[in-house]
A and B are shown apart, each in its own frame.
Chain A
Amino acid sequence: MEMENQQPFQIDLGNLMAFNPHHQYPSLSSSREDLVSECLQKGAELAQFIANDLFNLPSTEDRDGPLVRLPPPSTRLPREKPLPKPKPPTKWELFAKKRGIKNRKKDKIVYDDQTGSWKRRHGYDRANDEENIPIIEAKMTDEPGVDPFAARRANKKNRVEKQERNQLQNLKQAAKVGALPSHVQLAATALPITGTQAAPKKITKDELGNVAGMAATSTASGGKFDKKLAGEKPAKHQGKYRKFLPVVEGTGIGSQEREQTEKVLNRLISKNSHEILNINKAVNMYNVKKEKKQRNQRGKSSSMSSNKLKPNKKLQKKPLKKGSSKNGKAK
């Protein structure tokens, strides 16, 4: 902030801000309108003061009006986020520096020996593409029974995997100092100890709450006299989850255990005995089935005789049904 003797105002041209530190508090007795008009007048004075400096800056004429280059703001205000950290050098960069290896620019276009033409170095239809060689000549050193094409593919795969591992290692180093690129995340895929392929199960909010509740109540007082943390909620799922019946025999609940086991045992034993067969019910079912069969046959013959008259059919059926049911019961 600069202070001038003639104009006792502080000014920050970068923020277009001016400050008049010499104005006394206005008297409270004055009316609201007076107060507002006084403030506006003082404000205009300050705005004029900013404008004096602003309009005297060197300007360039633009189609929309004069453009002025503002000085950087002089009032120090806090940042929104911390300064970005510099990226640590990769393992290769360290090695190259040690050995004094310098990066050279490579041409984008290379001569392709196979086709005898100039092609791009990388990407689709690239020069000297390993994959494009259709015939691999056998050498004396070759072992019989080894597919050279498969070996080539495996070799390529290994190289890609190695590069990925190196990249991950470098990113891990960067993550350690907090200089991971903004769009990259390192996510855990599996537990490091077991090395299983399945991703670890995410712990849900409820489960976490349950565990926290258990931990909070596992003190001598059941968590009653513990200090509560800020924002801590009461424990969920207090109490028991499973109940076990007493093993010792007695009355009431004591005998329940025996009953339960007996029930299971009985079912198992009686699986092959014929007592589970209800003969009465079986006979009934058999009778009903038989009658239905007969009825169906009769119905077919009647429909043949009466020329497709539906109401007739119904009339015939009703008494038949009643009779059959009575018969069934009688049996």
Chain B
Amino acid sequence: MLKVRTPKNGKVKRELEKRAPKLVETGKKTLILHGTKTSGVLNEVLTEIYHLKKESAVKYSRRNEGIKPFENGGDSSLEFFSLKTDCSIIVYGSHSKKRPDNLVIARTYDHHIYDLVEVGIENFKSMHSFTYDKKLSPRVGSKPFITFIGEGFENVEELKHLKEVLLDMFRGEVVENINLAGLDRVYVCTAISPNKVFLTHCALRMKKSGSVVPRMELVEVGPSMDLVVRRHRLPSDGLRKEAMKTAKDQAKKKEKNVSQDAIHGKIGRIYIPDQKVGDVALPDKSKGVKRERCEAKMKNRDNGPASKKQKEDSEKPKEDSE
């Protein structure tokens, strides 16, 4: 026999709904992992990637043994962690003699490894080593500009792959509306050689240029590092096709309380709750509470002209025709 099991409280239900597959997805979470051994540089790299992705990342602080992403069966714990934390980008750092300062970026599809890129870290500069005006420092979770420079990103297979992974990792949530005043960070990725990419994180300073478009200036805020591409594994064609599926355009949601009229045009209907005049407390007219005349005058002067206030209040037109 089977029994229907449903969560006992709303919190669990909401959490499960968050994890369920969605038609339109809301950003990928990143999981940051340490291998059996990590160097000081790598520790810093991992924490700083965590800081860059703060609100959509999970960082495990303990060492993890037995993770060998490129070997057969060595990625089972990665898949388990992905399932547990609901993350679909995994950044795994490990340090060995053969591959010093090694960083593996893995993406998962349906909690199974989708593709892998392995890079070595060189010339790392921490975000603490940069000096800049703190007013410029990017806000947590702001949508970044991402720029890729160099022919390598088009011609070399590995860099092309790395470009896609970096874009997926840093782009954040796909948004419909964006506030132009909130743009404050740029990732600059430059292909220095066929297997090396220079990655740096910059703050954006917008200066007046006389036109609508302000002049962009970059201020390096770090971290910055060289990524040396080592191994990579592309997804199989079938898996890629499966993962690239997108939702067909959904039917538009029914527009409520709006109707069209031949004479008036577009007509909106709004609901105003009962005013409940009977419940309103009557003004207290006892003598001790009354204000002095001059006092009232002073107050009126401070408040300024009353016309502005009226403008804000008159924001609910019952009908607007087009």
Residues of A near any B CB (own CB < 8 A): 14-26, 28, 32, 35-36, 39-40, 42-44, 46-48, 50-52, 54-56, 59, 62, 64-70, 72-73, 75-84, 167-168, 171-172, 182-190, 192, 195, 229-231
Interface set, chain B 151-181, CB cutoff 8 A to A: 151-154, 163-164, 167-168, 171, 174-181
Contacts A77-B167, A79-B25; A18 near B145 (Cβ below 8 A): yes
Contacts A32-B123, A40-B188, A40-B218; A14 near B109 (Cβ below 8 A): no
Report whether B145 and A50 are in contact in the complex, using a CB–CB cutoff of 8 Å.
Answer: yes
Q: For the complex, is B214 an interface residue (Cβ under 8 Å from A)?
A: yes
Give per-residue flags for B109-142: 1 if the beta carbon is below 8 A from chain A beta carbons, else 0: 1110010000000010000000000000000000
What chain B residues lie within 8 Å of A21 (beta carbons)? 150-151, 153-154
What chain A residues lie within 8 Å of B215 (beta carbons)? 48
What chain B residues lie within 8 Å of A189 (beta carbons)? 1-3
Q: Give the residue among B2, B3, B204, B240 with the most A Cβ atoms within 10 A.
A: B2
Report whether B191 and A25 are in contact in the complex, using a CB–CB cutoff of 8 Å.
Answer: yes
**Contact residue among A25, A40, A76 (Cβ-Cβ distance under 8 Å from B150):** A25
Contacts A36-B200, A46-B149, A48-B215; A65 near B179 (Cβ below 8 A): yes
What chain B residues lie within 8 Å of A18 (beta carbons)? 145-148
Which single residue of chain B is at the shortest CB-CB distance from A22?
B151
Inter-chain CA distance A168–B4, complex, in Å, is: 7
Main secondary structure of the interface of B (DSSP, over half): mixed
Q: For the complex, is B39 an interface residue (Cβ under 8 Å from A)?
A: no
What chain B residues lie within 8 Å of A39 (beta carbons)? 149, 188, 190, 198, 200
Contacts A14-B174, A172-B2; A23 near B123 (Cβ below 8 A): no
What chain A residues lie within 8 Å of B53 (beta carbons)? none
What chain A residues lie within 8 Å of B198 (beta carbons)? 35-36, 39
Q: Can you pick out 29 interface pairs between chain A and chain B where the beta carbons lie within 8 Å of each other?
A: A15-B146, A18-B147, A21-B153, A25-B151, A28-B192, A36-B220, A42-B147, A42-B149, A43-B147, A43-B190, A44-B217, A47-B216, A64-B182, A65-B179, A66-B181, A67-B179, A75-B167, A78-B109, A79-B25, A79-B244, A81-B25, A81-B88, A82-B21, A84-B21, A167-B4, A183-B16, A184-B6, A187-B2, A188-B3
Report whether A25 and B214 are in contact in the complex, using a CB–CB cutoff of 8 Å.
Answer: no
What chain B residues lie within 8 Å of A62 (beta carbons)? 179
**Contact residue among B2, B146, B176, B243 (Cβ-Cβ distance under 8 Å from A16):** B146
Which single residue of chain A is at the shortest CB-CB distance from B186?
A47
Report whether A84 and B177 are in contact in the complex, using a CB–CB cutoff of 8 Å.
Answer: no
Report whether B177 and A182 are in contact in the complex, using a CB–CB cutoff of 8 Å.
Answer: no
Inter-chain CA distance A67–B143, complex, in Å, is: 13
What chain B residues lie within 8 Å of A22 (beta carbons)? 151
Contacts A20-B147, A48-B216, A64-B181; A76 near B244 (Cβ below 8 A): yes
Report whether B3 and A186 are in contact in the complex, using a CB–CB cutoff of 8 Å.
Answer: yes
Contacts A55-B212, A75-B167; A17 near B123 (Cβ below 8 A): no
Q: Give the residue among A16, A43, A65, A184 with the most B Cβ atoms within 10 A.
A: A43
Which single residue of chain B is at the shortest CB-CB distance from A41?
B218
Number of interface residues of B (CB under 8 A): 85
Report whether A70 and B21 are in contact in the complex, using a CB–CB cutoff of 8 Å.
Answer: no
**Contact residue among B1, B28, B176, B182 (Cβ-Cβ distance under 8 Å from A188):** B1
Which single residue of chain B is at the shortest CB-CB distance from A19?
B148
Q: Give the residue among B4, B194, B220 with the most A Cβ atoms within 10 A.
A: B4
Inter-chain CA distance A265–B128, complex, in Å, is: 85
Interface set, chain B 1-34, CB cutoff 8 A to A: 1-7, 12-13, 16-17, 19-23, 25, 28
Report whether B240 and A78 are in contact in the complex, using a CB–CB cutoff of 8 Å.
Answer: yes
Inter-chain CA distance A230–B75, complex, in Å, is: 10
What chain B residues lie within 8 Å of A70 (beta carbons)? 175-178
Q: Give the residue among A17, A55, A184 with the most B Cβ atoms within 10 A.
A: A17
What chain A residues lie within 8 Å of B109 (beta carbons)? 78-82
Inter-chain CA distance A64–B149, complex, in Å, is: 32
Report whether B224 and A36 are in contact in the complex, using a CB–CB cutoff of 8 Å.
Answer: yes
What chain A residues lie within 8 Å of B150 (beta carbons)? 20-21, 23-25
What chain A residues lie within 8 Å of B95 (beta carbons)? none
Report whether A44 and B247 are in contact in the complex, using a CB–CB cutoff of 8 Å.
Answer: no
CB distance from A6 to the nearest CB of B (A): 16
Report whether A55 and B1 are in contact in the complex, using a CB–CB cutoff of 8 Å.
Answer: no
What chain A residues lie within 8 Å of B212 (beta carbons)? 55-56
Q: Give the residue among A18, A39, A67, A182 with the most B Cβ atoms within 10 A.
A: A39
Inter-chain CA distance A44–B203, complex, in Å, is: 11
Report whether B177 and A68 are in contact in the complex, using a CB–CB cutoff of 8 Å.
Answer: yes
Inter-chain CA distance A190–B3, complex, in Å, is: 9
Report whether A64 and B179 are in contact in the complex, using a CB–CB cutoff of 8 Å.
Answer: yes
Contacts A70-B175, A78-B107, A187-B5; A52 near B244 (Cβ below 8 A): no
Inter-chain CA distance A230–B72, complex, in Å, is: 6
Report whether A46 and B147 are in contact in the complex, using a CB–CB cutoff of 8 Å.
Answer: yes
Report whether A84 and B20 are in contact in the complex, using a CB–CB cutoff of 8 Å.
Answer: yes
CB distance from B216 to the nearest CB of A (A): 4
Report whether A47 and B213 are in contact in the complex, using a CB–CB cutoff of 8 Å.
Answer: no
Inter-chain CA distance A324–B111, complex, in Å, is: 85
5 other A-B residue contacts (CB within 8 Å) besides A50-B145, A65-B180, A182-B20: A17-B148, A20-B149, A32-B123, A42-B147, A47-B204
CB distance from A11 to the nearest CB of B (A): 10
Inter-chain CA distance A286–B133, complex, in Å, is: 99
Report whether A230 and B5 are in contact in the complex, using a CB–CB cutoff of 8 Å.
Answer: no
What chain B residues lie within 8 Å of A76 (beta carbons)? 244
Inter-chain CA distance A70–B179, complex, in Å, is: 10
**Contact residue among B25, B202, B242 (Cβ-Cβ distance under 8 Å from A80):** B25
